């Protein structure tokens, strides 16, 4: 069986010295030395000023919303993983879904202003598949309307746009280091922020809200990354450029074959940016021999487990359907894409041979 992804594992011999240090010191959690070292090295690698590591990106999103004191309503995209909207509901904030742009598949900035009400306090866009949102336009609208912006950058590790790391945009960005991501610590995530005061506040929030040994100042949570996960991250970071290069080659191989297949297309580029090749989505058009779901089943029957990210839309889940913004008429481009996108397997160990076999299956 070939899955949509396979976690990239760090070489065990490189990991062992880190584990020995953990065993010797007995420091296994609570922002120990590896946690601190990974924060520093990751800032250097990504080109950002401050990072706070988390046990996963979902908790990081919850804390990001809390840290900015966001209330009322937040404008977001339905074309994402459910953690995006859940982070709002967990904070008693109502998600307001708007449609996506047909090229980038990210929130369509031209739809934001019409969704603003007196209760709106923020915008939560997603750099879906690591494809940059229109950050300049979103910033203009946010500034004009005095709204906070949190980017769900779960897919965007290492993505650079016209002015450096995409993670430098918005008030905060949240990255995921889950096993299925380009850079993984098995489970993990981070909040990127721009100043040390915000970083210190976020660090307190992820540690139950403790301000000192004897005082708690906020309803915090336990979101700390363990020393084991940080050690994994330190080893993974040494190999990340090689991992991205292997993904680039797989992306290139797919594109070369797929452009010759009638009825299937790859996503168009949205301009010049450094990619991380985190997913390989294809669009199954109406003139293809099979529907998207028939193709999904056909690949599965042949041992290829592709995924329909992001189907259903978040707004189509039963618990979200009651929101007035969840109406599909409001979200036609998102709905159309949720019904015709399929993400093909992509991970560093995937061989060129298997990619060619998958393309052959697509050519039926
Ligand atoms: N925001 C966005 C936009 C996100 O996409 C996500 C997560 C988040 C926020 C929250 O981030 P975290 O809290 O997770 O850090 C997966 C991931 O669990 C999830 O992290 C990810 N997005 C989402 C898009 O995909 P599933 O349900 O597709 O995962 P699963 O377990 O089916 O894994 C996919 C394939 O990967 C499997 O078929 C086999 C392979 N796999 C997976 C795991 C976990 C392995 O080979 N080994 C493994 O250990 O959600």
Domain ranges of the chain: 2-235, 239-362
Alpha helices in 52-134 (DSSP H): 57-67, 83-89, 112-115
Q: How far apart are the first and last CA of the chain?
A: 20
User: What's domain 239-362's architecture?
Assistant: Alpha-Beta Complex (3.90)
For domain 2-235, is the CATH number 3.40.640.10? yes
Q: What is the pLDDT of residues 124-170, one digit of tens each?
A: 999 999 999 999 999 999 999 999 999 999 999 999 998 899 999 99
Minimum-distance ligand 1 atom for the alpha carbon of 186: 49
Q: Is 178's C-beta closer than 6 angstroms to any atom of ligand 1?
A: yes
Minimum-distance ligand 1 atom for the alpha carbon of 61: 9
Lowest pLDDT segment from 39-43, 166-170, 181-185, 268-272: 268-272
Q: Is 5's C-beta closer than 6 angstroms to any atom of ligand 1?
A: yes
Q: What is the pLDDT of residue 20?
A: 98
Q: What is the pLDDT of residues 300-326, one digit of tens each?
A: 999 999 999 999 999 999 999 999 999
Quote the mean pLDDT of the chain.
Answer: 97
82 Cα–ligand 1 center, Å: 11
The model's confidence at residue 272, banded by pLDDT at 50, 70 and 90, is confident
Minimum-distance ligand 1 atom for the alpha carbon of 4: 35
Q: Whose CA is nearest to atom 46 of ligand 1?
A: 6
Pocket residue to mutate for ligand 1, from 62, 81, 84, 89, most atoms within 8 A of Cβ = 81
């Amino acid at each position: 069986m070939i899955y949509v992804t396979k976690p990239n594992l760090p070489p065990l011999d490189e990991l062992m010295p880190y584990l020995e240090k953990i065993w010797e010191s007995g420091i296994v959690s609570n922002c120990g030395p590896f946690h601190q070292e990974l924060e520093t090295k990751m800032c250097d690698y990504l080109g950002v000023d401050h990072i706070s590591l988390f046990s996963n990106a979902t908790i990081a999103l919850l804390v990001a919303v809390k840290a900015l004191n966001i209330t009322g309503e937040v404008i977001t995209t339905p074309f994402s993983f459910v953690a995006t909207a859940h982070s709002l509901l967990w904070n008693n904030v109502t998600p307001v879904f708007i449609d996506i742009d047909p090229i980038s598949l990210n929130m369509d900035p031209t739809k934001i202003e019409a969704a603003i009400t007196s209760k709106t306090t923020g915008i939560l866009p997603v750099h879906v598949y690591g494809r940059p949102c229109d950050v300049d336009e979103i910033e203009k609208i946010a500034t004009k309307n005095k709204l906070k912006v949190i980017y769900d950058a779960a897919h965007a590790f290492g993505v650079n746009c016209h002015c450096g790391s995409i993670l430098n945009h918005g008030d905060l960005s949240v990255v995921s280091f889950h096993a299925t991501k380009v850079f993984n610590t098995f489970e993990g995530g981070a909040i990127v922020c721009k100043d040390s005061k915000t970083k210190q506040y976020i660090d307190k929030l992820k540690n139950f809200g403790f301000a000192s040994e004897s005082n708690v100042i906020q309803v915090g949570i336990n979101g700390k990354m363990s020393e084991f996960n940080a050690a994994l991250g330190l080893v993974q970071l040494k190999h990340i450029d090689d991992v991205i290069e292997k993904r680039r080659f797989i992306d290139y191989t797919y594109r070369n074959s797929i452009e010759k297949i009638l009825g299937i297309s790859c996503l168009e580029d949205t301009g010049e940016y450094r990619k991380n090749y985190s997913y390989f989505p294809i669009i199954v058009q109406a003139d293809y021999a099979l529907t998207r779901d028939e193709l999904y089943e056909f690949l599965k029957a042949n041992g290829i487990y592709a995924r329909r990210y992001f189907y259903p839309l978040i707004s189509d889940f039963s618990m979200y359907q009651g929101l007035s913004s969840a109406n599909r008429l409001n979200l036609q481009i998102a709905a159309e894409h949720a019904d015709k996108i399929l993400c093909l397997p992509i991970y560093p160990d995937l061989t060129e041979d298997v990619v060619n076999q998958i393309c052959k299956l697509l050519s039926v």
